[in-house]
Amino acid sequence: MLRSASRLIKKNVTGRFRPTLSLLLVGFTLLLSVLGLLFVFEASSAESYNLVGHQYYFLRQQAISLFLGSGAFVVALLLPTKFWAKTAQIWFGVGLVLLILVLVPGFGVELNGARRWFAFQGVIFQPVEFFKLALVLFSAVWMSRQLKLPTFLFLTALFSLLLLLQPDMGSLLVLLWVIFGLFFLAGGKLLLLSGLGVLGVVGLLLLIVASPYRAARLQTYLDPNTDPLGSGFHVRQITLALANGGWFGVGLGNSQQKYSYIPEVSSDSIFAIVAEEIGFVGALVVIGLFVGYLITLYRIATLLPERSFEQLFVLGVFLWMSGQILLNLAAVAVLVPLTGLPLPFFSSGGTALFTILFTTGLVLKIFLDTSARSASSRKKVQS
């Protein structure tokens, strides 16, 4: 009887908060997108001028991506949730094919020793961003129906190998965090996952030691002064940006480190410019917006049917976003080695922003559809 009463109370309370959560998700997404656009311009103005002769190149690219991503957000709201559940295998297969093709000379483009991109008439596409969504979608469908360890291990080994060949260690860490987290939340045994996690950590450490490039990054993280003008240059310049910002920052547009001191300043290191221009206090506000976005995702997940496709998908998105945000901010704060991961909503890069906005729209669609079904069921019971 007490359980029935608590369920009834929960239904009434959550019913009241469903519209609020929807508005919060849209609000946080809008705020983060607009702030990201502002800081892409702030961080990239000097880099853009050196590249094309004016300061608006990266701003224009990011604005186009934001416009297309907003359209994708709307498209996600128009298509039924069942469509994505039924076609999850197709999207996962397409994602795997793209990860394979990017490794083939003539298809993939090699930049800075990594083969992670497609380029067509000036448009650059990074397939791993699409694959993150495809993996969450497919895993949510599969794990809501069955949990088979051999299938889990095979899929994990398959995409891990493809990402190691690129190489893209940062994205691999995020995807491992997502699939292991989902396997646990779907009912996987903690002891088994702990054993696999230990083996995975040992394997990653061996890969780092075996790769001169990754070993140099680890050495730079442990002691940036070993090569201050070489491998340690990036870390030292990020640290200077954080120090320059102080409590309240040097002011918008007044960053010094964006003038070709920090490599790829508008992408994975953009938060260093954020902290330099608006300081520690302003950076905390931005982090607060990220936390609000993540809490909203998690709260939405708790209101969905237990271990259903819908709940596991939203939890997968929560794991994806939280892992990527934490890893990027930790790298900028020099708590972990630099990984090259973009900061969601902020880093310049059309593929990442487009995918994140589409994914957020899909989360909102799932939440609205589930809420509508719940309301319809309650009316039937009452009648």
40-85 tens-digit pLDDT: 998 888 888 777 777 888 889 899 999 999 999 999 999 888 899 9
217-227 tens-digit pLDDT: 666 555 565 65
Q: Could you tell me the maximum CA-CA distance found in the chain, to the nearest angstrom? A: 74
Instruction: Read off the DSSP letter of residue 207.
Output: H
Asked if 64 and 371 count as a contact pair (C-beta separation under 8 A), the reply is: no
Asked if 366 and 375 count as a contact pair (C-beta separation under 8 A), the reply is: no
> What size, in residues, is the chain?
383
With CA atoms as reference, report the closest residue to 327 among 181, 174, 109, 122: 174
160 or 375, higher pLDDT: 160
Rounded distance between C-alpha atoms, residue 290 and residue 323, angstroms: 12
Average pLDDT, the chain: 82
> What does the pLDDT average to over 250-271?
81
pLDDT of residue 46: 80
Rounded distance between C-alpha atoms, residue 1 and residue 13, angstroms: 18
Rounded distance between C-alpha atoms, residue 233 and residue 162, angstroms: 30
What are 125's strand-pairing partners? 118
pLDDT of residue 9: 33
Determine the 3-state secondary structure of 211 from DSSP. Answer: coil
Instruction: Read off the DSSP letter of residue 105.
Output: B
Asked if 182 and 312 count as a contact pair (C-beta separation under 8 A), the reply is: yes
User: 108 falls in which pLDDT band (50, 70, 90)?
Assistant: confident
Rounded distance between C-alpha atoms, residue 215 and residue 338, angstroms: 12
Q: Counting beta carbons within 10 angstroms of the beta carbon of residue 382, is it exposed (0 to 12), middle (13 to 18) or buried (19 or more)?
A: exposed
349 or 93, higher pLDDT: 93
Asked if 332 and 241 count as a contact pair (C-beta separation under 8 A), the reply is: no
Instruction: Read off the DSSP letter of residue 232.
Output: T
Please report, rounded to a whole number, the percentage of residues in the chain having pLDDT higher than 70.
Answer: 81
pLDDT of residue 349: 79
Asked if 148 and 99 count as a contact pair (C-beta separation under 8 A), the reply is: no
Strand ordering across the sheet containing 108-111: 108-111, 114-120, 123-125
Q: Counting beta carbons within 10 angstroms of the beta carbon of residue 286, is it exposed (0 to 12), middle (13 to 18) or buried (19 or more)?
A: buried
Q: Which residue has the tokens 């290191």?
A: 269
pLDDT of residue 296: 96
> What does the pLDDT average to over 104-127?
75
Q: Which residue has the tokens 């949990």?
A: 147
Q: Confirm whether pTM is higher than 0.75.
A: yes
Centre a 10 Å sphere on the Cβ of residue 336 and count the other Cβ atoms it contains: 17
Q: Report angle CA 238, 295, 348 to the nearest 5 degrees.
A: 35
User: What residue spans of the chain are helical by DSSP H?
Assistant: 2-52, 57-78, 81-86, 88-101, 127-145, 149-165, 169-185, 190-210, 212-222, 233-245, 270-302, 309-332, 350-382
160 or 293, higher pLDDT: 293
pLDDT of 230 strictly over 60: no
Sign for the CA dihedral angle at 294, 152, 359, 99 comes to: positive
Determine the 3-state secondary structure of 8 from DSSP. Answer: helix
Supply 214's token pair. 């990754």
151-187 tens-digit pLDDT: 888 889 899 899 988 888 889 999 999 999 999 898 8
81-95, 249-263, 321-335: segment of lowest average pLDDT:
249-263
pLDDT of 31 strictly over 90: yes
Q: Which residue has the tokens 């892992």?
A: 323
Instruction: Read off the DSSP letter of residue 63.
Output: H
pLDDT of 4 strictly over 60: no
Supply 364's token pair. 């909102």
20-29, 71-80, 105-114, 271-280: segment of lowest average pLDDT:
105-114
Rounded distance between C-alpha atoms, residue 276 and residue 269, angstroms: 12
Q: Report angle CA 347, 47, 252 to the nearest 5 degrees.
A: 70
Query: Cα–Cα distances in Å, from 313 out to 29, 72, 139, 349, 354?
Result: 18, 18, 8, 24, 18
pLDDT of residue 289: 96
